Amino acid sequence: MNQSDPSGNQPKPPPTPVYVASEEAKAKARKFFDHAKKAAETKNYDYAIKLYVDGLAFWPDAVDEGLKPLRVAGTARRLDGGKASGFLAARQWPTNTKDPLKNLNSALYLFGFDPSSINYMELILQNASKARLIRTVAWISPVLAEAYNSAKKVAEAAFHASCQAMSDAADFAMALSEDKVSMDILQANIATADIWMRVHESSTDAPRARSYATGKMTIVKGKFDKAEGFQESLKDAEGQRELMDKDRPVLGVDRKAQMIASARKDWEAHRDVPAKLQNLVELMTKDEDETREREAIELLESEFKSNGHYAFKMKADDLRIKQAGRKRRELETRLRGDPSNAANQKELNEHRIAQNQMEIEIWSERQAHYPTDMRIKFQIGLRYLTARRFDEAIPLFQQAQVDGRTRSEARLYMGRCFFEKKFYPQAIETFRTTIAELETNSGPVALELNYWLGRGLEVTGEVAEAKKIYGYLIQLDYNYKDARQRLESLVAGN
């Protein structure tokens, strides 16, 4: 894979962006954006999208002023019943010319009329990267990663191209010392590579893409966190080699043993520095070797008992959760290979119950140490929901919703609990209000909220509205859960 080398070698002087908006161009763009905002407020979404795109032609990396509101207007239009642009629009707005700026503007127009289209997101990413519009890349990359995460199947070539485009843009941002922009792009790059590895398990390029991205992230984060710069903290070439090798997904047996031995020696010489043990544990558990993982857990628990640092206990428990999850996936794979095997099904069911109970105990212990952390309450609530302990889960989700980081998901699962208890009016109201407060109605949380709203409406006899919700879902994802089958059943029953 032709990713850029994050080894720390000095890059060549970066080429300049294809286009930099002048102050005059920005002023022209703002006029279009102002008119677009007014058009969107009157629900004239088609005109608003055209105005936003016209403004972006003058200022293509206007993230807050143009790109974000374009996406909001496009999503509102689809929710209002608007359809994606057709074949003629695609011909009028070509995306395959030699001019990346022209291609980008066309892709933005088509995206405005179909903001859930992965194809248009990819076109925006590719052309923004070619034009070296790093802020546009930083905006679209996490949007695309989220879309990949909820997609049923994505071709490996698409992952390859997207990771390459993100990597190229990150290189350019790094060369300009745009550390925050670099980090935003690389986070999405890593997330995309993770999804790639999950979807295409046999891929050799996916781990390599992730390794390059994490290597660059290490460099950027070091520069971002330390005023003196990352390179100044590396006093010798071996130190840099250790750092880069640490992020490689695959290491030779000898090199791996050498690094673990070096880290162990370093920790034993500095037992009062927690980061030394954390570094050793990370190296020991990198390749999911069960024996080394057990040893790492023992080291962490021993250190916790001797000095009382709860972070060591948390890390040990995280490893236990990781091991249990790995075992569950192995059992699921075995069952998929022999779905009629009752013994395999029984073993999987028992493991799931035991894993869930173990995780309840772990997260409950953490709550005792961090009683004001709403994210911990959210995690316990999830496991109570899995165990069908709805009366215990609901209060935890109610508390967790005050944290903006877990608000939407906490309300989703609170509504699920109401639904399971047959408190259908409360479930429907929870789903409705949460959907109304979302910034965008795309992504896995929004899809699931709409799905369960449809389920609630269906069970309470509000068939017309349930059909509308299911119809909207299959427009976004034709095979989302059983929305299509439920819609077909409702249509057949009239």
Question: For the segment 392-428, what is each residue's pLDDT rounded down to a tens digit?
Answer: 999 999 999 988 878 899 999 999 999 999 999 999 9
For residues 227 and 269, state if they share a domain: no
For residues 176 and 88, state if they share a domain: yes
For residues 309 and 380, state if they share a domain: no
> Residue 32 sits in a domain of what CATH number?
1.25.40
Tell me, yes or no, whether 349 lies in a domain.
no
For residues 79 and 225, state if they share a domain: yes
Per-residue pLDDT tens for 232-266? Answer: 444 443 444 444 444 444 445 566 788 888 888 98
For residues 289 and 406, state if they share a domain: no
For residues 37 and 184, state if they share a domain: yes
Measured in whole angstroms, the distance separating CA 452 from the mean position of its chain's CA atoms is 22
Tell me, yes or no, whether 443 lies in a domain.
yes
Tell me, yes or no, whether 5 lies in a domain.
no
Tell me, yes or no, whether 155 lies in a domain.
yes
> Residue 392 sits in a domain of what CATH number?
1.25.40.10
> Percentage of the chain with pLDDT > 70?
88
Tell me, yes or no, whether 327 lies in a domain.
no
Query: Is the CB of residue 57 less than 8 Å from the CB of residue 26?
Result: no
Given this model, what pLDDT does residue 51 score? 95
Q: What is the mean pLDDT of the chain?
A: 86
Domain limit, last residue, from 243, 277, 297: 243
Tell me, yes or no, whether 330 lies in a domain.
no
For residues 127 and 212, state if they share a domain: yes
Mean pLDDT calculated for residue range 459-488: 94
For residues 229 and 277, state if they share a domain: no
Tell me, yes or no, whether 280 lies in a domain.
yes
Say if residue 385's pLDDT is above 80: yes
Band of pLDDT at residue 153, cut at 50, 70 and 90: confident
Contacts 24+ apart (CB under 8 A), 284-291: 284/260, 285/319, 286/251, 286/256, 287/250, 287/251, 287/256, 288/322, 288/326, 290/323
For residues 184 and 51, state if they share a domain: yes
For residues 165 and 195, state if they share a domain: yes
For residues 170 and 218, state if they share a domain: yes
Q: Structure tokens of 383?
A: 């496991």
Q: Structure tokens of 314?
A: 């948390």
Tell me, yes or no, whether 296 lies in a domain.
yes
- Show the domain range for 45: 23-243
Report the number of distinct structural domains present in the chain: 3
Per-residue pLDDT tens for 254-302? Answer: 667 888 888 889 888 887 777 788 888 888 888 788 889 999 999 999 9
For residues 307 and 442, state if they share a domain: no
